[in-house]
Amino acid sequence: MFLYFDTDKSGWCVDSSDVMFDVVVVGAGPIGLVLSNYLGKFGVKTLLVEKNSSTVSEPRAVSIDDESLRAIQGINLAETVIGSLMPDYGSCYQSPTGSVFAKVSPNTREYGYPRRNGVHQDVLEKQLKDGLEQYSNVETWFNHQLTSFSEVEDGVELSLQSADGQVKSVKCRYLCASDGASSFIRKTLNVVMEGDTYGENWLIIDIENTKDTFRDTRVFCDPSRPGISLPGPKGTRRFEFMLLKGETNEEVLAEENVRKLLRDHGPDEHAVIRRKTVYTFHARVARDWKHGRIALLGDAAHLTPPFAGQGMNSGVRDSHNYAWKLAQVALGRLGPKILDTYPVERKPHAQSLVDMAVKMGHVMMPLSKPTAFFTRLFFRALAIYPPAQSYITQMKYKPKPRFNEGFFVPDGHKLRNTIVGRMFIQPMVESSQAPTQKQLLDNFLSDGFTLLSYSTTPETLLKRVNGKFVDTLKVDSVCITPKSVLLSAEDNPRSQLRDINGDIEKTLKAYGECVLLLRPDRYVAAVFTPESVERVNREVDTLVEATW
């Protein structure tokens, strides 16, 4: 039912048409946009609501990681997004004299993409918004603000006010709050944000046409003025400087001060400034991420200091995790209890990234000269021991995409070594249908659940994976052979893949030949080995039944 203000009649009118959606997403920031793209792809009837007239125009996030790019690959936008990135850069941690005491330069492509990439959030949001145009099942209402909502027995009723004063009532089965740091939905639900207020103020300066040709992030670990300089796409550069005790926003934003900071930190004193502003960063996580039919995602659920460049990336993981669960419920394949696994899986991981950012802040913002000296000494000592050096350079300190609890069947391996509950790697593979073209694994996977059979004769074990779940979840299957197997398009009824670099063989060393049940978000839900296949068939069936 719509209530709207009719200017001709000068009064409020009621449009009695019922507007019912499976899902309403509030907030068209990067998190709501990724979520809506996924819901569009999965065929879920969705409404995306945004109070502003367009996506953001000012730069915010400047770093996107490999996991987010894999999520974006899943909505067919990887090529578009990668085309406007500054891919694959590292970090150099510098002492006040400019000497480099620690380097981060990850060269892994574990999930298919470089681990750190420069991005413009405003460009990314526009690309994600354009991506929605391909889905007739997603409506996008900009200039509409959520003003009230209430949960009823079979859904959530919402009141939306448009910029011209019309009030519209809509109803949905599930409401997603991706409405940002000051989330109206979170506040209305009285959900507490836990953790330190932190509250560091940082001056952000975005410039164009940088003269600094250095490709990595420079981290100025200087107690007298901690700061960062990050390269961005198309000759842009971001500077971030911590405000010192007693400094006011007006003082640091003054033109003279900004130019001096640029002069002291590279060759960009006279650069064109696109934006300068002061931000306060927080390290806080919402206590409850789900309230009945309502879930919090992105900044509405967690706020992280910028040192790890993970605020948006963590939020993209939320969308990637929750979208397929909503879709499975909307399609009637899984019961609504699957939605309860969203906070169980995502909250501890998001918390671990906030904790990592806080720790990185201690390195970047040493409180005194002696602390700065000992921090540098510590990192220089680590560099002598190769495993410790690789821990830093390869970013092994970054929490892995894995869950301790959630929608998967534990396989008895120790938490550190198990493959289940983890995002599966994304290596390059070769297909029997096009042996000369090497492609990323996900390009051969469907949008839903997939059985990935790895063996010299992958069809054999695959036939024994025959639990009820195969039909219930409409599971697709893909066969992949070790590197040493000669693929033949004629002999195989379907496309077979080959593990051309031996990455899968290495990852599955502890299992040998096996079939993996991959979730739509590419996490491993179960492993079937020749010895365990009957038992795991039963256990996956039980897992699926338990969602009802």
Ligand X SMILES: Cc1cc2nc3c(=O)[nH]c(=O)nc-3n(C[C@H](O)[C@H](O)[C@H](O)COP(=O)(O)OP(=O)(O)OC[C@H]3O[C@@H](n4cnc5c(N)ncnc54)[C@H](O)[C@@H]3O)c2cc1C
Among positions 61, 338, 353, 363, the unique one binding ligand X when judged by CB under 6 A? 61
Contact flag: residue 315 with ligand X (CB under 6 A): yes
Minimal distance in Å, beta carbon 416 to ligand X?
Answer: 27
Gap between the Cα atoms of 255 and 150, Å rounded: 48
Q: Where are the beta strands (DSSP E) in 346-484?
A: 428-431, 434-440, 450-454, 476-481
Gap between the Cα atoms of 48 and 242, Å rounded: 36
Per CB under 6 A, which region of 30-38, 367-375, 465-473, 513-521 contacts ligand X?
30-38
Letter string b/e over residues 62-77, b meaning 16 or more CB atoms within 10 A of that residue's CB: bbbbbbbbbbbbbbeb
Minimal distance in Å, beta carbon 89 to ligand X?
Answer: 12
Minimal distance in Å, beta carbon 131 to ligand X?
Answer: 15
Nearer to ligand X, 49 or 420 (CB): 49
Nearer to ligand X, 321 or 418 (CB): 321
Q: 466 to each of 334, 471, 483, 541, how far by Cα in Å?
A: 18, 9, 27, 10
Contact flag: residue 26 with ligand X (CB under 6 A): yes
Minimal distance in Å, beta carbon 49 to ligand X?
Answer: 5
Minimal distance in Å, beta carbon 84 to ligand X?
Answer: 15
Contact flag: residue 361 with ligand X (CB under 6 A): no
Among positions 21, 22, 23, 60, the unique one binding ligand X when judged by CB under 6 A? 60
Report how many residues bind ligand X under the rule CB under 6 A.
34
Q: At a CB cut-off of 8 Å and minimum separation 6, what does 426 contact?
A: 70, 109, 110, 111, 112, 440, 441, 442, 522
Per CB under 6 A, which region of 9-17, 27-35, 76-84, 482-490 contacts ligand X?
27-35
Contact flag: residue 31 with ligand X (CB under 6 A): yes
Letter string b/e over residues 420-450, b meaning 16 or more CB atoms within 10 A of that residue's CB: bbbbbbbbbbbbbeeeeeeebbbebbebbbb
Minimal distance in Å, beta carbon 61 to ligand X?
Answer: 3
Q: How big is the chain, counted in residues?
A: 548
Nearer to ligand X, 41 or 120 (CB): 120
CB 329 within 8 A of CB 338: yes
Contact flag: residue 180 with ligand X (CB under 6 A): yes
Contact flag: residue 27 with ligand X (CB under 6 A): yes
Q: At what angle do helices 341-364 and 369-382 cross, to 10 degrees?
A: 110
Among positions 50, 200, 222, 345, the unique one binding ligand X when judged by CB under 6 A? 50
CA nearest to 41, candidates 147, 155, 136, 148: 136
**CA–centroid distance for 121 within its chain:** 13
Residues of this chain, 272-311, that bind ligand X according to CB under 6 A = 279, 298-299, 306, 309-311
Per CB under 6 A, which region of 54-62, 99-107, 209-217, 322-330 contacts ligand X?
54-62
Q: 98 to each of 104, 200, 244, 376, 426, how far by Cα in Å?
A: 16, 24, 20, 12, 38
Per CB under 6 A, which region of 29-37, 73-81, 372-380, 516-524 contacts ligand X?
29-37
Amino acid making up residue 252: V
Gap between the Cα atoms of 360 and 102, Å rounded: 12
Gap between the Cα atoms of 487 and 500, Å rounded: 11
Q: 207 to each of 221, 230, 232, 234, 260, how far by Cα in Å?
A: 21, 11, 10, 11, 14
Here the tokens at position 66 are 């490999």
CA nearest to 487, candidates 475, 479, 497: 497
Gap between the Cα atoms of 384 and 386, Å rounded: 6
Among positions 145, 439, 472, 532, the unique one binding ligand X when judged by CB under 6 A? 145
Gap between the Cα atoms of 113 and 120, Å rounded: 17
Per CB under 6 A, which region of 83-91, 177-185, 341-349, 501-509 contacts ligand X?
177-185
Minimal distance in Å, beta carbon 419 to ligand X?
Answer: 27
Contact flag: residue 85 with ligand X (CB under 6 A): no
Minimal distance in Å, beta carbon 13 to ligand X?
Answer: 23
Site map 202..241 versus ligand X, x via CB under 6 A: --x-------------------------------------
Among positions 110, 179, 499, 539, the unique one binding ligand X when judged by CB under 6 A? 179
Site map 183..202 versus ligand X, x via CB under 6 A: -x------------------
Contact flag: residue 391 with ligand X (CB under 6 A): no
Among positions 37, 46, 117, 121, the unique one binding ligand X when judged by CB under 6 A? 121
Nearer to ligand X, 53 or 97 (CB): 53
Nearer to ligand X, 78 or 286 (CB): 286
Nearer to ligand X, 145 or 352 (CB): 145
C-alpha dihedral sign at 186, 188, 194, 198: positive
Contact flag: residue 172 with ligand X (CB under 6 A): no
Gap between the Cα atoms of 2 and 4, Å rounded: 6
Binding site for ligand X (CB under 6 A): 26-32, 49-52, 60-63, 121, 145-146, 178-181, 184, 204, 279, 298-299, 306, 309-313, 315
